[in-house]
Structure 1
Amino acid sequence: MKFVNYLEKISGVGVYPMISLVLFTVLFTSVVVYALKVSRETISRMEQLPLDDE
């Protein structure tokens, strides 16, 4: 049996792709907003973290 056959037997399975799309959109938008709002000093500090000896 194919995997699709198992999914067809689950009632309301069509809602799962919509939930995953909404979660992805919210997460992606949050990351973009954070990246645009973060200050230049914070970005500079983060850039130097791998090079610090501390």
Structure 2
Amino acid sequence: MLKYIKNHMDSISGIEIYPMISLLIFFIFFVALFWWVFTAKKEYIDRMSDIPLDNQNDTQL
């Protein structure tokens, strides 16, 4: 079955660009995520990390 898929994919013209595009999207996403992590404010990170421990909303359930 894999041979059938591979032979079918080889018959499509211009298909060799898709792996490069997916790698570029993957790389850009993680570079942007890395940039956001290092530029995010410490107060925001602390507030988001305290959300699971916040008991204020437990009484509303």
TM-score (normalizing by structure 1):
0.89
Q: Which runs of 4+ in 1 moved over 4 A?
A: none
% identical aligned pairs = 39
| SS in structure 2 at match of 1:32 | helix
Task: Give structure 2 stretches of 5+ with no counterpart.
Answer: none
Equivalent residue in structure 1 for 2:32, among 20, 30, 33: 30
Rg larger in 1 or in 2?
2
Structure 1 gap segments, 5+ residues each? none
Aligned length: 54
**Superposition deviation, residue 52 in structure 1:** 1.6
Q: TM-score, length-normalised on structure 2? A: 0.80
CA-atom RMSD in angstroms: 1.1
